[in-house]
Chains A and B, each alone.
Chain A
Amino acid sequence: MPRGATERQIGIRQSRSRSSIRHTAPAAARQNIERQRKVVRSGNRLEKQAAAEIRLLVEYCSLTPSSPFHYRGYQTSSYPERKWSTIIPSIGGLEVKKAGRIGLGENRMVRLKGPARKMKRHWQLYLLVLLPLAYIVIFKYIPMYGAQIAFRDFSPVRGFTGSEWVGLKNFSDFFNSPNFWLLIKNTLIISVYSLLIVFPAPIILALALNEIRNARFKKTVQMVTFAPYFISTVVMVSMIILFLSPRLGFVDSIVKFLGMESINFMGIPDFFSSIFVWSNVWQGIGYGAVIYLAALAGVNPDLYEAAKVDGASRFQKVLHIDIPGIMPAAIILLILNVGQIMNVGFEKIYLMQNPLNTSTSEVISTYVYKIGLLGANFSFSAAVDLFNSVINLILLLAVNYFARRISDNSLW
């Protein structure tokens, strides 16, 4: 290798001042720089800044057209060993895009690529997404489109759009049916009851667990309370039925031990919502607590130190440090819960129903299933379901709005 060449290379690398670079820039690049100057004169401040930075970039690139190198998704020519951000600290995605619009794209040396070219380079990513997107469209959006049968008199032969349009008839049928208020009442009782009990229970468990310093006891409680999460709904309901049965269950033994008559709990309508809600607490408390425990682990330990110095009691620490610490997580989950308030788990309620308790156990979702699928009354039950979904959506939006106004914590 000739000595001169190496020296020259070293020389170039060392002379990074702008003037020396400009001398060596080829004519095409220089032309471009001139064009940029015009833009700088006419454009606003942002464009000026962008143009200035791009000018530097152009000068740099025209100096050393080396192997292709990607910077922020844009293919450029540059020193691969040096990041642009170290040369031009303030350069960012926005400015580069701006400059591209100004007309630098024609420059052969700096090939700022358009969206189409970027897609072509990453075609594999778009290929990956196709199948899942097809799934989303087929199993989520086609049913959404099909929800219009709520406004039609659906016949299976004619399909979603071919059936006769009947407007709001199905809805008015539902509102005028004798079941309407009963369904709304049952659904609301069960869901509000759940929200009041099932929602705060894991918070209390997490706060209590957080007080425990004995790691082994803490872990045991956590493991055990988590386990029921894995029990399926069918098994859960059959456990409830077994335990509460007047003949077999241990609950009955306790009742007898207390000197009372055997009670057929599942047959008494008034007990239904309590059985449903408290068994949900039993099954979900450990799972729900995990989230809050994570939030509590993230609380700044300095706060506890400070509280100790100030002489706060344990209970005061819980009240003034722990609870504010889990508030953001709690509010997000509360919003999500309220958004589901009309969706009281179909699976469990349906399994828990028996002829004796339907007066309090019939809720909207079970009604939809019975009327729609078992009774093949598609349009009517689709209308009931749609009504339910819309109420949920409105509640979700409303709660999110209030949460944002009051506490700065919201989904969006």
Chain B
Amino acid sequence: MNKPVAVKESMGDKLFLFLVYAFLLFILIIVLYPLIYIVSSSFSSPQAVISGRVWLFPVEPSLAGYKAIFSNPQILTGYANSLFYTFFGVLINVSMTVMLAYPLSKSTFLGRNFIMVILVITMMFSGGLIPYYLTVKMLGILDTRWAMLLPGALAVWQVIIARTFFQSTIPKELGEAAELDGCSDFGFLWRIVLPLSKPILAVLVLLYAVGHWNAYFDALIFLKSQELFPLQIILRNILILNSIDASMMVDANQMAAMQGLRDLLKFSLIVVATVPVLAIYPFVQKYFVQGIMIGSLKG
């Protein structure tokens, strides 16, 4: 769409543009380098990692770190748990969000303003951590899988995004026509609204899925049983608290290699924990940007 520029660019403009490119290149490198460093380190040998020989590309390529991860029962359980929480969590999240957002998008729905006020209040004010914890405790779901699914079953912000989407993309006339033809509200939602709302559903799924996959706080305060821990808690124990128990190391007798393997394991773990979310991002990027825009500009 570039129109031919009639006026020649001045020196100042050229310099400015050069600075802009330089600035962006700098940002690009700053953001990209740590990511490359992590990935490269994870594929290097333990010795290369501890001696700091990894700069850009893997040194003495090996899969030792990954082998250690996939032979560790704790990490595998965590992975499975995280998949479980993410899958069912997103299922609950998306249905709850649509159930609330769709009626709120109808102008004929009585009390929509009242409900909106109720929702917005929760965004500005909350009871705080302790009453929240005590409420979950009173419900008797502490230290169960429910504690990971129910307390975060709905995000108000996402409801507002979805409501705005329904309001702006589903024409009112469509609803009136469907009603004339004797279509119920359920039928209209299921057969017409949802198929037309794939972009927003993609956004909701991604937002919620990233949230579930990356969440550790709820697990930290609600869960005590090892076998229920999601991946992030296990990551915290290994990566930050540095507590690798004996069962962790497959070759416990290789004491010399252990320290190196332990460091290498961290890099590999970071890759393994981040790849699932990062992998789906390019596919939904288009929708994702759209979703952020809907939520932020119109909401």
Binding site for B on A (CB under 8 A): 69-70, 73, 80, 115, 118-119, 122, 124-126, 128-129, 131-133, 135-136, 138-147, 149, 156, 159-160, 205, 208-209, 211-213, 217, 220-221, 223-228, 230-235, 237-239, 241-243, 247-248, 250, 252-253, 282, 285-287, 290-291, 294-295, 308, 311, 313-315, 329, 332-333, 339, 346-347, 351, 365, 368-369, 372-373, 378, 381-382, 385-386, 388-389, 393, 396
Contact = CB atoms under 8 A, between A and B. Distances in A.
Given A230-B281, A232-B274, A253-B52, A224 B127 contact: no
Contact of B103 (A129, A160, A232, A372): A129
Nearest to A124: B185
Contacts of A141: 122
Interface string B1-34: 0100001001011001100110110011011101
Interface string B117-145: 01100101111111111111111000000
Given A248-B52, A381-B130, A347 B270 contact: no
Interface in B22-66: 23-24, 27-28, 30-32, 34-35, 37-38, 49-50, 52, 55
A143 B185 contact: no
- In order of increasing CB-CB distance, the 7 nearest A-B pairs are A143-B127, A146-B131, A232-B214, A385-B128, A238-B239, A132-B100, A124-B185
Contact of A136 (B16, B122, B131): B122
B126 A225 contact: no
A143 B296 CA distance: 28
Nearest to B139: A138
Contact of A234 (B24, B118, B138, B232): B232
A238 B274 CA distance: 12
A373 B131 CA distance: 11
Nearest to B159: A132
Interface of B: 2, 7, 10, 12-13, 16-17, 20-21, 23-24, 27-28, 30-32, 34-35, 37-38, 49-50, 52, 55, 96-97, 99-100, 102-104, 106, 108-110, 115, 118-119, 122, 124-139, 150-151, 153-154, 159, 176, 179-180, 184-186, 189, 210, 213-217, 221, 232, 235-236, 239-240, 263, 266-267, 270, 273-274, 277-278, 281-282, 285, 289, 292-293, 296-297
A368 B133 CA distance: 12
B278 A290 contact: no
A237 B266 CA distance: 12
B73 to A, nearest CB: 20
24 contacts: A70-B180, A122-B185, A124-B186, A129-B104, A145-B127, A159-B138, A213-B2, A221-B24, A230-B277, A232-B213, A232-B232, A247-B50, A250-B52, A253-B52, A291-B297, A308-B7, A314-B16, A351-B236, A351-B240, A365-B129, A386-B128, A389-B125, A389-B126, A396-B124
Given A225-B31, A239-B34, A382-B128, A231 B16 contact: no
Given A160-B134, A225-B28, A290-B289, A135 B103 contact: no
Contacts of B267: 242
Contacts of B106: 122, 125
Given A212-B24, A233-B216, A373-B133, A80 B210 contact: no
B274 A250 contact: no
Contacts of B186: 124, 128
A318 to B, nearest CB: 9
Contacts of A230: 210, 214, 274, 277-278, 281
B154 to A, nearest CB: 5
Given A129-B115, A209-B24, A389-B125, A248 B274 contact: no
A393 B132 CA distance: 18
B31 A291 contact: no
Nearest to B22: A208
Contacts of B292: 287, 290-291, 294
A219 B24 CA distance: 12
Nearest to A393: B125
A307 to B, nearest CB: 11
A208 B23 contact: yes
Instruction: Pick from B129, B154, B185, B270 the residue with the most CB of A within 10 Å.
Output: B129
A128 B278 contact: no
Nearest to A247: B50
A243 B232 CA distance: 19
Nearest to B35: A227
